Structure 1
Amino acid sequence: MSNQLCEVIVLETSDLHGFLLPRSYADKTEVSYGLARIATIVKEMRGLHPNILLIDNGDCLQGTPLTYYHARINNEPPNPVVACMNELRYDAAVPGNHEFNYGLPYLKEAVEASSFPWLSANIVNEASGEPLFGKPYIVRELKNGLRIGILGLTTSYIPNWEQPQHIAGIRFDDPVETARHWVDVLKRQEQVDAVVVSYHGGFERDPETGGSTEPFTGENVGYAICEQIEGIDVLLTGHQHRAIAGCSINGVCVVQPSNEGRYLGKVTLQFERIEEVWTLKTCESELLSAEEYEPDETVERIAAEVETLTQVWLDQPIGRASGDMTFASHEEARLREHHFVEFINRVQMEVSGADISCTAIFDNQSPGFGKRITMREVVSNYIYPNTLKVLRISGSDIREALEKSAEYFELDERGAIAVSEAYLMPKPQHFNYDMWEGIDYELDIAREKGQRVTKLEWRGQPMRMDQTFDVVMNNYRAGGGGNYSMFRNKPVVKDIAVDMVELLADYIRERGVIEAGVNNNWRVVNSDERRISSHGSEQSGTI
């Protein structure tokens, strides 16, 4: 009998973050990405290949004003993200860390509305020890008898970020050890011919060189999964928003399709059957760019109802700004105090009653506030569903946190202040640089890491390291997110369980007019520039 060949295509989306339609929520301009464009690729691929598996790798339910509107303002219409995924006939989805942001009831409603299973072997019910979403894997058997096992895993680092009430009664087990058990089940009990692991997490090492790319925290263990677990053929990854394809680790074909529907991950598996046994001969991964495809009309139509309601809500005026609160340069706003950053910190202090506050500019697309403030500007600036916590911490904790923030900067080859490569790769982490109000401080980037805080005062006096202070910050940071370990397990003086978007909008509505202003309580300097300038150098020392 002649040998038989079979080709299977695995398609992956990851970190869609609710980006269904190819339009910017900041200014309504057309963009070259989004699920509607990805949908066109998927449907084209289905027309070309009979054996298609479509997997979403997590973080699909949160991230745009549309998803915020549906979760927080009006969830009567069907979930638009799930409805679009149902249309595309996803085979499975893996819950990401942001799936928990709107609470477990909202996530459960999304799961129940899905015509596909949600898989995560290492997210378990704490009481029973059983996988929270039911079966941790699925097996797809083709007409020719070839069997593909798909196992879901999620980063176990979620308790370091998420609101405790959103994950009450849930345990997040180690993905590596969990994979070890379930891959064995797939191979021995299910007798699958290939194992695909979809892991909402990324790589702690460079996929090509194996060199370390981040401090090991357990947030990303993709490399360890490939290196330590036998029997895996494909690892679908995400979480880091990286574009990775065309490489393998320990014989495991890997892929990561960036975020917001910029790429569709594609893995092509070639099998050969010899004497009734299927053998995987080749496996290759690639990325298909969404910008080359027009948006799918059906997906646009499905999303239209909630999208229209969202746009009306976004255009609601809620107040005015007196003075310039827009961002001319996000880089400059992280070097010297900006009106918008001052405003956020002041709001946090007023609503919490804390004397000290810290916040960040989340990305380099934040517009700030124009003269006429709308909900569109609020959600475009505050893109995460954070709440606030007031922690009681020591002066020593504050100094350590400032040193951590100072690591955001480095001196480039010209001796000028620049953003550290560690905060740009593998994905931008501008949200992990905090700026503080209620204290006076100076960071000198010319000094060694850990010694950059050259001034730290409270109420005009040097801050005592053994004194305690009540500090307000978002819940992500309060849980130690961004490797701010000094905040973990500190006493919570106050927990304000209202989204910052709502707090900001209410604050602006109540006052009507927001006055722009700064008190210049902090600055970032380069003492090398001072010394060089005193000798006649023209180097600017700025980003």
Structure 2
Amino acid sequence: MAHKPTPTSDAKSAHAALLDSEVSRRRLLGMAAVGTAGAAAAGIIGADAAHAGNNGNRGPGRNDAHRRRLTVLGTTDLHGNVFNWDYFKDDEYTDSAGNDIGLAKISTLVSAMRAERGERTTLLLDAGDTIQGTPLAYYYAKIDPITGGHVHPMAAAMNAIGYDAAAMGNHEFNYGLDTLATFVDQLDFPLLCANAVDDFTGEPAYEPYVIHTVRPRGARPIKVGILGLVTPGVAIWDKANVEGILHFPGLVEQAQVFVPQMKARGADIVIVSAHSGADTSSSYGDALPYPENAATLVAEQVPDIDAILVGHAHSEIIERFVTNTATGKQVLLTEPLRWGMRLSVMDLDLVQERGRWHVESAHSHLLNANSVPEDPAIVEILTADHETVRDYVNSVVGTNLTAMSAQTSRYEDTAAMDFINHVQSDAVTRALAGTPEADLPVLSIAAPFNRDASIPAGDVTVRDVAGMYIFDNTLLAITLTGAEVLAYLEQSAAYFKQVTGTGPFAPDDVTNAVTPTAPNGTPDYNYDIMGGFTAPLTYDIDIAQAPGSRIVGLSYDGAPIDPAQRFVIAINNYRQSGGGNFPGVVSAPVVYNAQVEIRQLIIDWVTAIGQIDSSVFAATDWRLVANGAPVIIQA
């Protein structure tokens, strides 16, 4: 099924007609005349209709020279999504919540908001993670890289929509600094990052902030300072790309440096675009001295910030206020979920006193992308790129004898996870030939981070394989002892909730346990399944026991594991560099690191072998038990 652009012969005319239609305007914006029920139907989340639809420059008392409303629109974690399209399914995107995705829909919402609020007093920002996450993004980073001259689809779309500024996300660094530099050059707006610091100069390597002058009619210009910050986790997750070149101080520390600079340069209003979650936590534990998610800390500890557009956590925050401890001022936070599912709308009502503007009151709400059609102008610009990538992901690279699915991989041993571990182990074993580690037994880890991943029987395409491994992680190998393997598996087993009895349980009854470092539940990507290559690694996970005492009968090649035995572990760069804070990993010797993406390794393996035969690698090597008896899971 092809992507179907909005039928039109003139994209601009169609778009203008959409905005000129009073019915459409009310459906999109939830104007006061529509009422609260109408606003809900229009996709407005978390605001009463009167507030959502009121134009601050037209309401009572708002049209004098000393009061204005500034509207700041925001997206985050777009992750390479232009269209409402799932490349792994080769069909329109859909999920159980009825969400739509992509910049083409965001463009429609943005245009409508500019028409309602006034283009002069409306800004559009993004909070990072833009150029990674879909085959569309991968293709123009690796297959036809933008360093060769092709304009990145995300740059083309964001330029056409007219972003005013964006922050870098941690995934901007995935493809190396050359690709990032090219992307920065292709943008018509600044890509900001105050806490990516050049190791040699000690100064930010990228533009830390911009001061944008807003010129409302009949009033003094408003100077809006926009500061970009990224989670310090880049130093861990993309160490191979940044080590020795860039370092990443904390968000609070850098905001304390640059917010005063912005104010000194005349910024009336300060907005932070922070690729860092609101709820303070770190997936890497204490591996860095700065927290991964620190947006709330920035609001609390750094004076003179008016609002923060939050990213990274893929959460939906409609409106949250945080009190600055030094000034008592309320700082507005909002986060528009991910992938272009939502558009944040921050309304800052300003008053001018002694020649400077300040925020008198602030509110925010979200607009839902599923309430609007795609912008025909964006569709027209990027359909050719989209179709090129569809052709790429649908190309056949081999055959599969037996269908494999990852659907149940988080609670039972599956061929799908065994397949990933087999390919990783094979690559490491071949790479270590002739080295001192060549005779060590090889183990491998894989996480069930895509429950929808499957490879059908018959022809296997690039998208089948890409769906099995959706992240752009690279493969490394480290060495651990048998004792360290046990400790690693114990931490992984903390993913499970403690139970009494053997069930039957629903999957959610036993998975995604809440822990001190995962207050919202341990994500699937932090549950690792470990398997052997030339000989099996076998173990039970007893979830009737407390975390730390769950791994039972750990054996290698049929014998209890020797705590002193050295093993080579095939592992991804995210995990090896501290992601998930697994014990012993960061300090473990690295014996292989060729910077090859695991997804591409799997594609290359299938292409070279030509056939996937699960009987070669699939076996039941681990199981869930409760006090030694098998746990029953019924999906």
With the length of structure 2 as denominator, give the TM-score of the two structures: 0.79
For residues 91 and 401 of structure 1, what CA distance do their matches in structure 2 show? 45
What is the one-letter code of the residue matched to 2:418?
Answer: E
SS in 2 for 1:273: strand
1:190 aligns with: 265
1:431 aligns with: 525
1:209-256 CA-to-partner distances (Å, cap 9, x unmatched) read xxx898965111112111111111101111010000222111110011
- Of residues 343-352 and 426-435 in structure 1, the stretch that sits farther from structure 2 once superposed is 426-435
SS in 2 for 1:490: coil
For residues 265 and 428 of structure 1, what CA distance do their matches in structure 2 show? 27
Quote how far apart the aligned CAs of 1:459 are: 2.2
1:364 aligns with: 451
What is the one-letter code of the residue matched to 1:162?
Answer: D
* 2:622 maps to 1:522: yes
Does the 8 Å contact 1:149/1:186 carry over to 2?
A: yes
- Which residue, out of 112, 115, 130, partners 1:44? 112
- Which residue, out of 189, 206, 225, partners 1:149? 225
- Of residues 265-274 and 104-113 in structure 1, the stretch that sits farther from structure 2 once superposed is 265-274
- Which residue, out of 169, 177, 186, partners 1:96? 169
Q: Alpha carbons of 1:375 and 1:163: their partners in 2 closer, same or farther (altered >3 Å)?
A: farther
Does the 8 Å contact 1:203/1:223 carry over to 2?
A: yes
SS in 2 for 1:409: coil
Q: Alpha carbons of 1:164 and 1:105: their partners in 2 closer, same or farther (altered >3 Å)?
A: same
- Which residue, out of 204, 209, 231, partners 2:304? 231
- Which residue, out of 419, 440, 443, partners 2:541? 443
- Of residues 91-100 and 514-523 in structure 1, the stretch that sits farther from structure 2 once superposed is 514-523
1:536 aligns with: none
* 2:87 maps to 1:25: yes
For residues 449 and 27 of structure 1, what CA distance do their matches in structure 2 show? 37
SS in 2 for 1:410: coil
For residues 543 and 521 of structure 2, what CA distance do their matches in structure 1 show? 22
* 2:593 maps to 1:495: yes
* 2:237 maps to 1:169: no
Does the 8 Å contact 1:104/1:167 carry over to 2?
A: no
Quote how far apart the aligned CAs of 1:145 are: 2.1
**1:451-466 correspondence to structure 2 within 5 Å:** 451-466=549-564
1:129-167 CA-to-partner distances (Å, cap 9, x unmatched) read 111113434343435222211111110111221141355
SS in 2 for 1:447: coil
> RMSD of aligned C-alpha atoms?
2.3
What is the one-letter code of the residue matched to 2:451?
Answer: N
1:429-471 CA-to-partner distances (Å, cap 9, x unmatched) read 2111111111211111110111111121122222222332111
Does the 8 Å contact 1:240/1:427 carry over to 2?
A: no
For residues 346 and 522 of structure 2, what CA distance do their matches in structure 1 show? 26
Does the 8 Å contact 1:322/1:513 carry over to 2?
A: yes
* 2:137 maps to 1:67: yes
**1:234-249 correspondence to structure 2 within 5 Å:** 234-249=307-322
Does the 8 Å contact 1:242/1:426 carry over to 2?
A: no
Q: Alpha carbons of 1:89 and 1:118: their partners in 2 closer, same or farther (altered >3 Å)?
A: same
* 2:518 maps to 1:422: no
SS in 2 for 1:134: coil
Does the 8 Å contact 1:204/1:213 carry over to 2?
A: no
1:535 aligns with: none
SS in 2 for 1:497: strand
Q: Alpha carbons of 1:421 and 1:344: their partners in 2 closer, same or farther (altered >3 Å)?
A: same
1:261-297 CA-to-partner distances (Å, cap 9, x unmatched) read 1101111100122453323111111111100010011
* Unaligned 5+ runs, structure 1: 206-211, 531-538
Quote how far apart the aligned CAs of 1:400 are: 1.6
Identical-pair percentage: 31
With the length of structure 1 as denominator, give the TM-score of the two structures: 0.92
2:235 aligns with: 159
1:534 aligns with: none
- Which residue, out of 390, 393, 397, partners 2:477? 390
1:63-91 CA-to-partner distances (Å, cap 9, x unmatched) read 00011111110134311100100001111
* 2:416 maps to 1:348: no
What is the one-letter code of the residue matched to 1:84?
Answer: A
What is the one-letter code of the residue matched to 2:344?
Answer: G
For residues 283 and 346 of structure 1, what CA distance do their matches in structure 2 show? 54
What is the one-letter code of the residue matched to 2:385?
Answer: V
* Unaligned 5+ runs, structure 2: 1-62, 94-99, 324-329, 430-440
* 2:586 maps to 1:481: no
Does the 8 Å contact 1:3/1:274 carry over to 2?
A: no
1:484-533 CA-to-partner distances (Å, cap 9, x unmatched) read 24211211011132212221112111211111232212112222866xxx
**1:273-284 correspondence to structure 2 within 5 Å:** 273-284=352-363
- Which residue, out of 318, 334, 341, partners 1:255? 334
SS in 2 for 1:7: strand
What is the one-letter code of the residue matched to 2:274?
Answer: Y
Does the 8 Å contact 2:500/2:544 carry over to 1?
A: no
1:351-402 CA-to-partner distances (Å, cap 9, x unmatched) read 1116111111222222234422100111122111111111011222211211
